[in-house]
């Protein structure tokens, strides 16, 4: 027990352990915030650490589905200012769960430290628990992340286009030019869309969406409390027509969300319901909204942030009601892909470990979970750490499910910093094998919850910021293919490596297009062979 302090409650060694010979048993707690702690005299400013431990609940409170535990660090700086960092959390742990991993990655603020203290808190008074295999170790920053990302992009986001060219006798090959142009990217780069602004606001907002994004999601318009503020008074027509308009512009759609298990987002007319009435009402919500979007949306976020809200489970006293909701959604539309969607899992790491466990639980339950939505609202004025992002993505990738970045934004007034931060994030995400798509949570300062601090474009003219220019350079220049080959130098057989997407190939001879040799095709993970015959 060296190094542990247990003020106002009891700690002792126990043989109930995860590894080794003993573990720490915590008992006699009379407040939720009471938990064992340790001083951390060795924390270095600006260093990144991985902190982990295994925790086991020894008892439960009748009528409750589990307890919440949190790992925190309190830091006092030499100027006597203080900060409290909530590092890791795990919801709904019960005694039957055995040992669970409470883990996180964090970066120490860049200020001189006087004292630092790590401590556990969270289970209600009277709960006894065990802590074992606790560690805090510095992480070596990955200085090769950019190279590794670029290598993956080159090898997996692109494929070979093989050209075989024949020509009539007498053709001057030095006058033959073959232009290979990617018209549309396959990888989803999308944005949240404010329906009111899209339908009735600045047309430049609409135009920007149509021109620069290939996926979209209505930011709020499909949420239950907004689409049906009074029972039976739902307006489905407006969001459905908006989705149809976006699809007509070639934009695929995610749908967000069927329910949200935080009380303030549950419709007021639902909140007094209980038992079978509540269950039937929720089921009807699934039937109504999923049937109306069938064939129009590719994804549904089923129960938003269900690591952080348990309203329906608590009201119905049904720990596995989330499984039922996924089953209902699949029954209504077997083709739509169903997602979990949560925060604190990639941009921060407080909930990464329980999110992995939740994903594995849903897979085991066989309730048609397709993928993991990771929101990625980054902390204000804090640069994203590519090492941490990769570590968190690698952890979630253990679930063996596709990962979608669903709500990306950063926050800083400095548009050049914003550009750097977005580029770092996008390179990590596009360069990770499990990431299947990236959605910004808005892009215009006049339709963004972070205003100009997260925006790619600003003002009534929807003017690109440095961040917007950087992002579009990635989307539309660096990660798109546009190549030209002269037949005299390329030869009759040559290969171009191109990003996945839709292509057009044009052949010109002496400056004139040979129209019957124009080719269109889609390049995917398999290579493509294009045959061209040059004639007068």
Give me the CATH number covering residue 513: 2.60.40.10
Q: Tens digit of pLDDT for each residue in 384-430? A: 999 999 999 999 999 999 999 999 999 999 999 999 999 999 999 99
Which residues does residue 84 pair with via DSSP β-bridges, in sequence order? 74
Q: Tens digit of pLDDT for each residue in 292-317? A: 999 999 999 999 999 999 999 999 99
Question: 32 and 132: one domain?
Answer: yes
Question: 352 and 256: one domain?
Answer: yes
Question: Number of folded domains in the chain?
Answer: 3
Domain boundary among 138, 172, 201: 138
Question: 472 and 496: one domain?
Answer: no
Domain boundary among 455, 478, 501: 478
Catalytic residue among 407, 415, 423, 436: 407
Question: 372 and 419: one domain?
Answer: yes
Beta strands in 236-309 (DSSP E): 252-260, 299-304
Question: 237 and 306: one domain?
Answer: yes
Task: Report how far residue 400's alpha carbon sits from residue 90's, in angstroms, rounded to the nearest whole number.
Answer: 21
Question: 330 and 392: one domain?
Answer: yes
Contacts of 532 (CB under 8 A, 6+ apart): 163, 164, 165, 166, 178, 505, 507, 517, 519
Which residues does residue 185 pair with via DSSP β-bridges, in sequence order? 501
Exposure on the CB side of residue 50, measured as CA atoms within 13 A:
13
Domain boundary among 478, 494, 526: 478
- Residues 300/334, Cβ–Cβ less than 8 Å: no
Tell me how far CA of residue 335 lies from CA of 294, 300, 321, 331, 471, in angstroms.
8, 11, 22, 9, 32
Tell me how far CA of residue 515 lies from CA of 392, 518, 530, in angstroms.
50, 6, 15
Count, residues in the chain: 536
Q: What's the pLDDT score for residue 2?
A: 76
Question: 257 and 401: one domain?
Answer: yes
Query: Nearest to residue 87, comparing CAs of 56, 108, 67?
Result: 108
Q: Taken in order 113, 116, 122, 124, is the CA torsion positive or negative?
A: negative
Query: Nearest to residue 69, comparing CAs of 97, 88, 95?
Result: 88
Q: Which residues of the chain have pLDDT under 50?
A: none
Domain limits at 129?
4-138
Residue 399 lies in a domain: yes
- Around Cβ 102, how many Cβ atoms within 10 Å? 25
Q: Could you confirm whether 476 is annotated as catalytic?
A: no
Q: Taken in order 424, 425, 431, 432, is the CA torsion positive or negative?
A: positive
Ramachandran region, residue 400 (left: φ > 0; alpha: ψ -120 to 50; beta: rest):
left
Task: Report how far residue 483's alpha carbon sits from residue 261's, in angstroms, rounded to the nearest whole number.
Answer: 50
- Residues 86/131, Cβ–Cβ less than 8 Å: no
Query: Nearest to residue 442, comparing CAs of 424, 422, 428, 427?
Result: 422
Residue 146 lies in a domain: no
Q: What's the pLDDT score for residue 1?
A: 66
Task: Report how far residue 406's alpha carbon sits from residue 437's, in angstroms, rounded to the nearest whole number.
Answer: 8
Contacts of 156 (CB under 8 A, 6+ apart): 433
Q: pTM of the entire structure?
A: 0.96
- Residues 136/51, Cβ–Cβ less than 8 Å: yes
Beta strands in 94-172 (DSSP E): 100-107, 113-121, 129-138, 158-167
Task: Report how far residue 57's alpha carbon sits from residue 126's, in angstroms, rounded to the nearest whole number.
Answer: 11
Question: 363 and 396: one domain?
Answer: yes
């Amino acid at each position: 027990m060296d190094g542990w302090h247990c003020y106002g409650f009891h700690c002792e060694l126990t043989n109930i352990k995860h590894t080794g010979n003993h573990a720490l048993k915590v008992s006699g707690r009379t407040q939720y915030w009471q938990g064992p702690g340790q001083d951390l005299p060795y924390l270095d400013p600006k260093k990144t650490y991985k902190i982990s431990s295994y925790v086991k609940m020894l008892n439960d409170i009748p009528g409750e589905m589990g307890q919440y535990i949190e790992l925190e660090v309190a830091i006092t700086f030499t100027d006597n200012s203080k900060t409290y960092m909530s590092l890791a959390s795990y919801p709904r742990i019960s005694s039957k769960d055995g040992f669970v991993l409470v883990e996180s990655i964090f970066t120490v603020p860049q200020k001189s430290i006087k004292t630092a203290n790590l401590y556990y808190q969270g289970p209600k008074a009277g709960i006894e628990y065990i802590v074992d295999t606790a560690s805090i170790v510095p992480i070596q920053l990955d200085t090769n992340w950019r190279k590794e990302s670029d290598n993956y992009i080159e090898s997996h986001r692109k494929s070979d286009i093989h050209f075989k060219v024949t020509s009539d006798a007498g053709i001057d090959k030095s006058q033959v030019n073959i232009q290979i142009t990617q018209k549309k990217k396959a990888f989803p780069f999308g944005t949240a869309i404010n329906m009111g602004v899209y339908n009735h606001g600045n047309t430049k907002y609409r135009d920007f969406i149509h021109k620069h994004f290939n996926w979209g999601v209505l930011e709020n318009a499909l949420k239950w409390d907004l689409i049906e503020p009074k029972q039976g008074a739902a307006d489905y027509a407006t969001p459905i027509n908006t989705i149809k308009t976006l699809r007509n512009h070639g934009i695929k759609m995610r749908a967000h969300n069927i329910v949200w298990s935080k009380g303030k987002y549950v419709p007021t007319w639902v909140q007094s319901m209980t038992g079978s009435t509540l269950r039937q009402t929720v089921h009807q919500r699934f039937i109504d909204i999923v049937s109306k979007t069938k064939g129009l949306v590719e994804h549904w976020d089923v129960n938003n942030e269900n690591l952080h809200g348990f309203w329906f489970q608590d009201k119905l006293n049904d720990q596995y009601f989330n499984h039922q909701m996924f089953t209902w959604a699949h029954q209504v539309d077997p083709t739509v892909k169903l997602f979990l969607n949560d925060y604190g899992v990639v941009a921060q790491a407080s909930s990464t470990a329980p999110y992995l466990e939740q994903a594995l639980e849903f897979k085991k339950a066989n309730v048609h979970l397709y993928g993991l939505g990771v929101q990625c609202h980054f902390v204000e004025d804090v640069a994203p750490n590519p090492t941490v992002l990769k570590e968190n993505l690698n952890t979630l990738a253990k679930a063996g499910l596709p990962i979608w970045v669903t709500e990306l934004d950063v926050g800083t007034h400095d548009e050049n910093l914003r550009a750097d931060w977005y580029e770092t994030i996008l390179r990590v995400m596009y360069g990770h094998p499990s990431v299947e798509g990236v959605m910004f949570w808005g892009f215009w300062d006049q339709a963004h919850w972070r205003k100009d601090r997260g925006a790619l474009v600003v003002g009534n003219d929807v003017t690109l910021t440095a961040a917007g220019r950087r992002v579009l350079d990635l989307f539309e220049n660096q990660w798109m293919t546009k190549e030209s080959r002269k037949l005299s130098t390329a030869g009759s057989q040559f290969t171009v490596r191109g990003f996945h997407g839709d292509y057009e190939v044009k052949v010109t001879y002496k400056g004139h297009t040979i129209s019957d040799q124009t080719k269109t095709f889609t390049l995917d993970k398999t290579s493509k062979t294009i045959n061209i015959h040059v004639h007068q």
